Amino acid sequence: MRALRIVALLVAAQLALWLGWRALTVDDPSGWHLDRPLPTLTLYGPDDTPTPLPEGPFVLHIWATWCPPCREELPGLLDFAAEAPIPVLAVATDPDWQAIRRFVGAPSPALRRADAQVITDGLDVSDLPVTFVVVGGRAVLRFDGARDWRDRAVRRAVIAAARRDG
């Protein structure tokens, strides 16, 4: 009986540590503050014509159709993009729109495409997905890894960061 209590306490402690780490690294942007100029990026719309970056604060989310965590989080991100008070650009690194269309169906206004090499070099991205909050042409926050974009706390943190830094 005593051994069972010890095991239960150890499991509870590990769970508490994991949840605490997850809260700091996934949902809390405080550890990822940046202040670096956004490199020159050429983004392409669904008709493959270059599209300009938004003027004010915006969210720049980098993903790919071949990336399982990206595929899992994209529907929630697109829902957030449709409701967010700031522009959200979901930029796929796929080489053309065929794969993107096969995955998402009808393109969302939030969807863009960019050359993977430009993203890798210009934004120092090695793993996907990655999200930046951009204010005044500068990346001010960076989030590595997938998020639950339907979670109100995540949404509030991103919007607050864009407003606070803007």
Does the structure show a pLDDT above 70 at 8? no
Does residue 4 form part of some domain? no
pLDDT-above-90 percentage for the chain: 45
Does residue 12 form part of some domain? no
Q: The domain that contains 154 carries what CATH number?
A: 3.40.30.10
Does residue 7 form part of some domain? no
pLDDT of residue 34: 78
> pTM for the whole thing?
0.78
Does residue 10 form part of some domain? no
Does residue 8 form part of some domain? no
Please, where are the H alpha helices in 23-150?
A: 68-83, 97-104, 116-123
Range of the domain at 156: 32-165
Does residue 63 form part of some domain? yes
Higher pLDDT, 13 or 96: 96
Higher pLDDT, 113 or 18: 113
> Per the structure, how many domains does the chain have?
1
Does residue 17 form part of some domain? no
Does the structure show a pLDDT above 50 at 51? yes
**Length reported for the chain:** 166
Does residue 80 form part of some domain? yes
